[in-house]
Amino acid sequence: DPDMPFVPSIPEDQFILVEEGDPAVIPCRTSDPEAQVTLVNSLDKSVHALYDTKQGFIGNFLAGSYTCKTVVKGVEFKSDEFLIYIIRATSQLPVEIEALKTVYKTGETIVVTCVVFDNEVVNLQWNYPGKVKEKGQIKLDDIKVPSQKLVYTLTIPEASVKDTGDYECTARHATKEVKENKKVAITVHDKGFVHLEPQFSPLEAVNLHEVKNFVVDVQ
The domain 11-87 is placed in CATH, from the list 3.50.50.60, 1.10.3720.10, 2.60.40.10, 3.30.413.10, at 2.60.40.10
User: In the chain, where do the E strands start and end?
Assistant: 15-19, 24-26, 37-41, 50-52, 56-59, 64-72, 75-78, 82-87, 95-99, 103-105, 110-117, 122-127, 137-143, 149-156, 165-173, 179-189, 196-198, 216-218
Alpha helix positions (H), 95-213: none
Q: What is the rounded average pLDDT for all residues in the chain?
A: 91
- The pLDDT confidence band at residue 193, using thresholds 50, 70 and 90, is confident
Mean pLDDT, residues 190-219: 91
How many residues are recorded in the chain? 219
Provide the percentage of residues in the chain whose pLDDT is more than 90.
69
- The pLDDT confidence band at residue 50, using thresholds 50, 70 and 90, is very high
CA pair distance 92, 135, nearest whole angstrom: 31
Overall fold of domain 95-189: Immunoglobulin-like (2.60.40)
Domain 95-189 in the same topology as domain 11-87: yes
Give me the pLDDT at residue 78, please. 92
Asked if residue 30 lies in contact with residue 69, where contact means CB atoms within 8 angstroms, the answer is no
Most confidently predicted of 9-23, 36-50, 84-98: 36-50
Give me the pLDDT at residue 166, please. 97
- Residue 120: what residue type? E
Give me the pLDDT at residue 114, please. 97
Domain-wise residue ranges, the chain: 11-87, 95-189
